[in-house]
Structure 1
Amino acid sequence: MRLTLLIPELIWPEPGDRQTLDGLATPALGALLARGRESVEAAADNSADALIAAAFGLTDDVPYAPLRLLGEGHDPGTDHWACADPVHLRFHQERLILADGRTIAIDATEAGQLVRHLNDYFAEAGEAIEFVATTPDRWHLRLTAPADFRTPPLSAMAGRRVDRQLPEESGTAWLRRLLNEAQMLLHGHPANESRTDAGRLTINSLWLWGPGQLPTGLDRCFETVHSRHPLARGLAKVTGTACAEVPASFAELQQASAADGRILVLIEDLLRAVQYEDSDAWQQGIRDLEARWFAPLAAAVRSGRVELDLQSSTIYGLLGWNVRRGDLWRIWQRPTTIGAVAARLAGSTP
C-alpha cells in the first residue's frame, strides 16, 4: 500500500511551550520523523486547505470555492464562485479576531434566514449574485464575473488576527462594497438580535476566499480518498476517485484497502486544537494518533507492507516525511520528539 497521510498541525506551533511538548511520548511517530526523508516547503499558504490541494497537484491560485461546493454535493457548473463563510469579528486587546461559524454555533434556521435576506436584498438591487449555504457554517457566493483576489483560507484565520478582509486593490472595489453591504444586512437582522439577547456571538461578517471556476483535466492521483473534508471530497470527485469515510485506525484502513492500493487519508483531529490554542486537546489528539495510527503504521512500514508519505500543514511550512521499509531499519538514528522537530524548524534548540 502507498499511503498518503495528511494530518494538519502535527507539530505544535510554539516550540518554547515546554509544558505542552515535554514528556509527550510518541516513539512510533518519533521514529517516522527521524528516519523518513523530510521535506519543508515554506509556502505562502500553509493552511490545511493548501495541504489538501497540493496532494492533488494544485499549488497556485487554487479555486477552492467550486471544489468545496462540489464536495458538498452541489454542481458548480461553469460559474465563478467564492467561499463566503459566516464569521464573527470582535476586537480583543486592540486586535480584530475572527471566530468561525463552527465556533459560534450557527444553526440551519439562522443560516437559511440570513442567506435569504442577503439574496433578496441584492436581487432587488439588481445584483446577479447568489449566496448558497451548503451547511450552516459553509456558505458560497456565485459571482457574475471572475474575481481575482487572494485571501487566506478560513482554516488559516480561525482564532487569528485579521488585518484586512479583502486586498485594497481597484479590482476588488465592487467586492468590498458588497461585503460592506452584507455586513450591514447581517447586523440588523432579527436572527442576530436574538443571538445578542441570548448572550451569543453574532454573525456579523463574511470571510471571502478561494474564488474561481471548477478545474478540468486533473490527473487521478489516488484510488481512494478517505475524508470528510468537502475540499478533499470535491477533488476526489473531479478526478474520478472513490471517496470514503475516515477509518478509526490504521487497522481498519488495512481491512478496507487493497494491499497494493494508492490511498489518501485526511485526519483533522489536531486542526481546531491549534486554531484555538487548546494544548490539552492537541496533546490528547497526538496520543490517540500514536496508538491508533503511528504505532501500527511504523510496524507496517518496517515489514514492507506500506510506503508512507506523511504530510502536515504547520506554522513552519508544509512538511513531509516519506518513509520506506529500509528507512526504519536505520536504528542508529534515534527516534526524535515533536518538541525537537519544532525547535529545529523554528531555528532554535529544545
Structure 2
Amino acid sequence: MRLTLLIPELIWPEPGDAETFAGLACPALATLLARGRRADAARSPNTAATFDAAIARAFGLDRAVPYAALRLLGEGLDPGEQLWACADPVHLRFHQERLILADGTRIEISAAEAEALTGELNRFFGDVGEFRAAAPERWYLRLSAAADFETPPLSAMAGRRVDRQLPEEGRTAWLRKLLNEAQMLLHGHAVNEARADAGRMTVNSLWLWGPGALPRGLQSDWSAVCSDHPLARGMARCAGVPAHAAPAGFAALEKQVSGDGKVLVTLESLLRAVQYEDAEAWRDGLAALERDWFAPLVAAIRRGRVSLDLRASTIYGELGWEVGRGELWRFWQRPQPLQAVAQALAEGGSA
C-alpha cells in the first residue's frame, strides 16, 4: 500500500510553549519525522497552508478551487452546474479590541436552528440565491450571479482574528451588501434571541468562501479515499474514486482497503484543538494518533507492507515526509523531541 496520511496541525503552532510539549511520548512519530525524506508541498504565493488547500492539492487543484460545489457534493447533494459559495454560520465577537471568529461546531447549532435561520434568509434573499444547510454547521449559498472572490477557508479563520470578511473590490459590492443585510436579519431572529437569553453564542454572521461550479474532468490516481471531511469525499466522488469513512487506526485501514493501491487518508482530530488553543486536547489527540497510527505504521513500514507520505498543514507550511523501508534504516538520523522539531521549523530549518 502507498499511503498518504494528511493530518492538519500535526505540530503545535507555538514552538516556545514548553508546557504543551513537556513529556510527550511519541517515539514512532519522532522516528518518522527524523528518518523520513522531507517533501514539503510547493504552493502558489497567495495560497495558504490550510487543511482545505492541502486536500485540494492532493487532487491536483491549487488555484481558484470551487470548494463549495465540491464540499456540497461530498455532503451527498448534487450541485449541478450552478455556482455555489460556502456560507458557513459563524459568531463574531470582540476580544481585546480584536474581532474573533467562532465556527459552527463551536456555536453548537442544532438542525432545527439551522433550518429556521436559512429559511428566513431564503425568504429575504430569494432573488439573490438560495441558502441551504447541508449540516447544521455547514451552509451554502447558490449564487444567481458570478462571484469571483478569494477569502480564506473557514478552517484558517476559526478561533482567529478577522480583519475583513470579503475583499474590498467593486465586483463584490453586491455580496458585501448581502452580508451586511444578512447580519442584521440574523441579529433580530427569534433563534438568536433565544440563544442570547440562554447565554449561548449567537449566529451573527456568515463566512463566505470557496465560490464556483463543480469542475469537469477532475482526474486522480487515488485508488481509495478514506475521510470524514465532506470536501475530500466530494473530490473523490467528482474524480470517480471510491470514498470511505476515516478508519479508527492503521489496523482498521488494512481491513478496509487491500492491495497495493495509492490511498489517501485524512485525520482531523488535532485541528479544532489548535484552532481554539486547547493544548490538552491536542496532546490527547496526538497520543491517540501515536497509538493507533504511527506505532503500527512504523512496524508495517519495516516489514515492507506500506510506504508512507505523511503530510501536515501547519503554521510552518504544508510539511511532508516520505518514509519507506529504506528510510527507516537511516539510523544516523536520530529522533528529536517534538519541541525541537517545532523550533527548527520555526527557524526555517529541517526537522
TM-score by length of 1: 0.97
The offset of 1:40, in angstroms, is 3.0
Q: What secondary structure is seen at the aligned counterpart in 1 of 2:62? A: coil
Does the 8 Å CA contact 1:42/1:317 hold for their aligned counterparts?
no
Q: Aligned-residue CA RMSD in angstroms?
A: 1.4
The match for 2:145 is: 145
Partner of 2:122: 119
Post-superposition Cα deviations, 1:196-220, rounded to whole Å, max 9, x if no partner, equal 1111111100000000110111112
Task: Tell me whether 255-264 or 202-211 shows the greater mean CA deviation.
Answer: 255-264
Farther-moved stretch of structure 1 (130-139 vs 339-348): 339-348
What SS does structure 2 have at the residue aligned with 1:114? helix
- The equivalent of 1:13 in structure 2 is 13
Does residue 210 (structure 1) correspond to residue 205 (structure 2)? The answer is no
Is the 2:40–2:321 contact (alpha carbons within 8 Å) kept by the matching residues of 1? no
Deviations 1:232-285 (A, max 9, x none): 010010011111111111111112222312111111010000000001110111
Aligned to 1:276: 276
State the secondary structure of the residue aligned to 2:327. helix
Write the deviation string for residues 145-195 of structure 1: whole angstroms up to 9, x where unpaired: 221111110011110000000010111101000000100110111111111
Q: Partner residue of 2:50?
A: 47
Aligned ranges 1:330-349 → 2 under 5 Å: 330-347=330-347
> What's 2:79 paired with?
76
Matches within 5 A, 1:1-350: 1-41=1-41, 43=43, 44-123=47-126, 127-347=127-347
> Are the counterparts in 1 of residues 224 and 264 from structure 2 also a CA contact under 8 Å?
yes
Aligned-pair CA distance for 1:332: 1.6
| Structure 2 unaligned regions, length at least 5 | none
Secondary structure at the aligned position of 1:73 is classed as: coil
**CA positional deviation for 1:25:** 1.6
Cα pair 1:259 1:305 within 8 Å, conserved? no
Alpha-carbon displacement from aligned partner over 1:32-53 (angstroms, at most 9, x marks no partner): 1111111334743111111111
* 1:125-152 per-position Cα deviation (integer Å, ceiling 9, x unaligned): xx24110110111000001122111111
**Mapped partners of 1:296, 1:284: distance in 2:** 18
Task: Give the 3-state SS of the residue equivalent to 1:234 in structure 2.
Answer: helix
Alignment CA distance shift 1:348-1:152 (3 Å): closer
**254-263 vs 144-153, which deviates more?**
254-263
| Paired residues of 1:222 and 1:262 also in contact (CA < 8 A) | yes
128-137 vs 81-90, which deviates more?
128-137
Letter in 2 for 1:12: W
Q: Secondary structure at the match of 1:146?
A: coil
- Please say which of residues 44-53 and 130-139 is displaced more in the overlay: 44-53
Alignment coverage as a number of residue pairs: 347
Alpha-carbon offset, residue 348 of structure 1: 7.7
Where 1:49 maps in the other structure, the secondary structure is: helix
> What is the CA distance between 1:337 and its match in structure 2?
2.7
Question: SS at the partner of 2:236?
Answer: helix
- Alignment CA distance shift 1:41-1:348 (3 Å): closer
The answer to whether the 8 Å contact 2:3/2:264 transfers is yes
Runs of 4+ deviating beyond 6 Å = none
Partner of 1:325: helix, strand, or coil? coil
Q: Secondary structure at the match of 1:102?
A: helix
Cα gap change, 1:171 to 1:244, in 2 (>3 Å): same
Aligned equivalents of 1:78, 1:255: Cα separation in 2: 37
CA distance in 1, matches of 2:279, 2:338: 13
User: Unpaired segments of 5 or more residues in structure 1?
Assistant: none
Residues in 1 aligned to 2:177 and 2:287: alpha-carbon distance in whole angstroms = 47
Equivalent-residue separation in structure 1 for 2:167 and 2:236 (angstroms) = 31
Q: Specify the SS of the correspondent of 1:209.
A: strand
Q: Is the 8 A contact 2:38 2:320 kept in 1?
A: yes
CA distance in 1, matches of 2:118, 2:53: 27
**Offset, 1:122:** 1.5
